[in-house]
């Protein structure tokens, strides 16, 4: 019989790639979506006929229990969250409700309805924040620097706690930044590839950015959803860092994207002080040797290749849509 998976956050970047990945492995895929007056199915429109959507919200435990009862999943992937760091300063309580307490609600629902399911929690390198050691591993102490990072620390520890308290098969994947052609336009990688494409096509003349010195360990999202699945296939539940091990500045990211369209970025980019964060995560670089050793995971797409794909996709989108 086909395995069944329930994905919260299926309309997001990672949810859409994970759904494709699981369908390709013969899974029956269920996705939880929240009601909206306009639909947010752009990233899953190509697979919508092959998945089952169930309505639910991380704020509403009853709807989570119903989604689990209706899907009877072997695996639950909790990818839903308020995931944009700047919004977490503007809406700190809502971020905590979604990104922190929402994990408790989902774990409680799973414990009540399907305690033998395997659970994946989307934890984040933002938990390392003001880093206490470099590179960061599963044992590096957390020092989050935003309400989002603080909420993710709660989500991580409540996952570990439910594993230890109730013996649930619950894993926390500590994923470093991962990007793609499906990344939201507000995140820096996509903002830059979209900006480079628009400037190249004459649709914009300037691009405003914040801190160009920040460093991130950027990987390719389809590689990272494979790591989520591998965690739930292992015989014992555990926590894993998923990263490339290479860090770059935002400035390098901008240079690679603009070079791809044959432009000198310094002529087009402005630094807007309004985009500087109240507290910054200066530099992240992960050590994924445990995931490599135990899960056999490794990244397959280089930073340059990823940025190239993203720029090409943005150019194609604007060209397709006409002037
Ligand atoms: P994303 O594109 O922002 O997607 C977030 C998803 O969560 C969307 O499907 C959104 O639904 C859903 N959602 C938000 N609030 C919800 C609520 N109250 N109830 C139900 N669903 C809700 O994020 P992503 O980049 O795919 O990331 C997936 C997960 O990994 C997130 O938890 C993120 O924090 C975490 N993470 C991401 C990265 C990264 O670099 N991408 C790294 C580490 C960890 P709508 O479409 O309705 O808004
Ligand atoms: O792309 P970002 O907004 O990603 P950030 O804050 O690192 O968070 C992402 O990765 C986390 C994993 O570490 C996830 F958990 C989280 O959900 C999200 O997916 O910003 C990256 C860096 C920051 O240092 C920011 O200050 O880019 C810098 N930056 C410079 N100019 C900018 C901009 N970021 C954005 N979004 N927009 C700018 O104009």
Mean pLDDT is lowest, of 32-41, 156-165, 237-246, for 32-41
Residue 320 confidence (pLDDT): 83
Res. 199: pLDDT tops 60: yes
Q: Whose CA is nearest to atom 11 of ligand 1?
A: 9
> Does residue 124's CB lie within 6 angstroms of at least one atom of ligand 2?
yes
* pLDDT at position 82 over 80: yes
Mean pLDDT of 271-276: 98
225 in Cβ contact with 14 (< 8 Å) = yes
Predicted confidence (pLDDT) per residue in 114-164, tens digit: 999 999 999 999 999 999 999 999 999 999 999 999 999 999 999 999 999
Give Cβ neighbours of residue 153 (< 8 Å, ≥ 6 apart): 127, 142, 144
The residue contributing the CA closest to ligand 2 atom 24 is 214
Q: Is the CB of 136 within 6 Å of ligand 1?
A: no
Taking residues 174-193, report their average pLDDT. Answer: 98
Ligand nearest to the CA of 182: 1
pLDDT at 21: 98
Spatial contact of 228 and 172, defined as CB atoms under 8 Å apart:
no
Q: What is the per-residue pLDDT across 20-31, written as a single tens digit (0 to 9) for each?
A: 999 999 999 999
Angle 45-51-54 from CA coordinates, rounded to 5°: 100
| pTM of structure | 0.98
Q: How far apart are CA 233 and CA 35, in angstroms?
A: 32
Q: Which residues, at least 6 apart from 82, have a Cβ–Cβ distance to it below 8 Å?
A: 88, 91, 94, 95, 98, 99, 148, 151
Continuous H helices in the chain: 13-24, 61-71, 85-90, 92-95, 102-113, 147-166, 188-200, 221-233, 250-260, 289-290, 303-321
Cα dihedral sign, 195-200-203-208:
positive
Q: Report the separation in Å between the CA atom of 117 and the middle of ligand 2, taken as the mean of its atom positions.
A: 32
Pick the ligand that lies closest to the CA of residue 271. 2
Please choose, from the candidates 180, 186, 217, the residue with its C-alpha nearest in 3D space to the C-alpha of residue 90: 186
Q: Which domains does the chain show, CATH number per domain?
A: 4-178+221-242 (3.40.50.720), 184-216+246-285+300-321 (3.90.25.10)
Tokens of 20: 């494709």
Does ligand 2 come within 6 angstroms of the Cβ of 181? Answer: no
Pick from 188, 194, 214, 242 the residue to mutate for probing ligand 2's pocket: most ligand atoms within 8 Å of its CB.
188
- pLDDT exceeds 70 at position 323: no
- Best probe residue, ligand 1, of 7, 14, 149 (max atoms within 8 Å of C-beta): 14
**What is the model's pLDDT at position 322?**
64
What residues act catalytically? 124, 126, 148
Asked if the model's pLDDT at residue 271 lies above 60, the reply is: yes
**Average pLDDT of the residues in 51-69:** 98
Place of tokens 């993710």: 152
Looking at ligand 1, which residue's alpha carbon is closest to its atom 44?
124
Does the CB atom of residue 283 touch ligand 2 within 6 A? no
Name residue 77's beta-bridge partners. 7, 120
Instruction: Classify residue 101 by its DSSP letter.
Output: I
Ligand nearest to the CA of 106: 1
Give the pLDDT band of residue 39 (cuts 50, 70, 90).
Answer: confident
Query: What is the structure's pLDDT at 177?
Result: 99
Give me 103's structure tokens: 């994990």
Q: How far, in Å, are 38, 182, 224 from residue 16 at the CA level?
A: 18, 9, 12
**How far apart (Å, rounded) are the C-alpha atoms in residues 262 and 256?**
10
**Using a 6 Å cutoff on CB, does residue 129 contact ligand 2?**
no
């Amino acid at each position: 019989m086909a395995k069944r998976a329930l994905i919260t956050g299926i309309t997001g970047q990672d949810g859409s790639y994970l759904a494709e990945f699981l369908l390709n492995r013969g899974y029956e895929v269920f996705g939880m979506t929240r009601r909206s007056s306009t639909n947010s199915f752009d990233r899953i429109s190509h697979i919508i006929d092959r998945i089952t959507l169930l309505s639910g919200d991380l704020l509403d435990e009853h709807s989570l229990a119903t989604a689990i009862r209706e899907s009877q999943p072997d695996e639950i992937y909790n990818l839903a969250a308020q995931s944009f760091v700047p919004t977490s300063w503007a809406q700190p309580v809502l971020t905590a409700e979604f990104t922190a307490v929402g994990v408790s609600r989902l774990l409680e629902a799973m414990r009540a309805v399907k305690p033998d399911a395997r659970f994946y929690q989307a934890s984040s390198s933002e938990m390392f924040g003001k880093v206490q050691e470099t590179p960061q591993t599963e044992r590096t102490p957390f020092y989050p620097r935003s309400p989002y990072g603080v909420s993710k620390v709660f989500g991580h520890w409540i996952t570990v706690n439910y594993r230890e308290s109730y013996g649930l098969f619950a894993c926390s994947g500590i994923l470093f930044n991962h990007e793609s052609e499906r990344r939201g336009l507000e995140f820096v990688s996509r903002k830059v590839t979209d900006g480079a494409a628009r400037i190249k096509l004459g649709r914009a003349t300037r691009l405003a950015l914040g801190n160009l010195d920040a460093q991130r360990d950027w990987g390719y999202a389809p590689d990272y959803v494979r790591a989520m699945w591998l965690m739930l296939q292992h015989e014992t539940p555990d926590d894993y860092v998923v990263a490339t091990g290479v860090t770059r500045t935002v400035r390098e990211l901008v240079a690679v994207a603009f070079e791809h369209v044959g432009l000198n970025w310094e002529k087009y980019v402005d630094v807007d002080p309004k985009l500087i964060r109240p507290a910054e995560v200066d530099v992240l670089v992960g050590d994924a040797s445990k995931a490599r050793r135990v899960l056999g995971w490794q990244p397959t797409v280089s930073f340059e290749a990823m940025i190239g794909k993203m720029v090409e996709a943005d150019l194609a989108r604007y060209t397709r849509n006409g002037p």
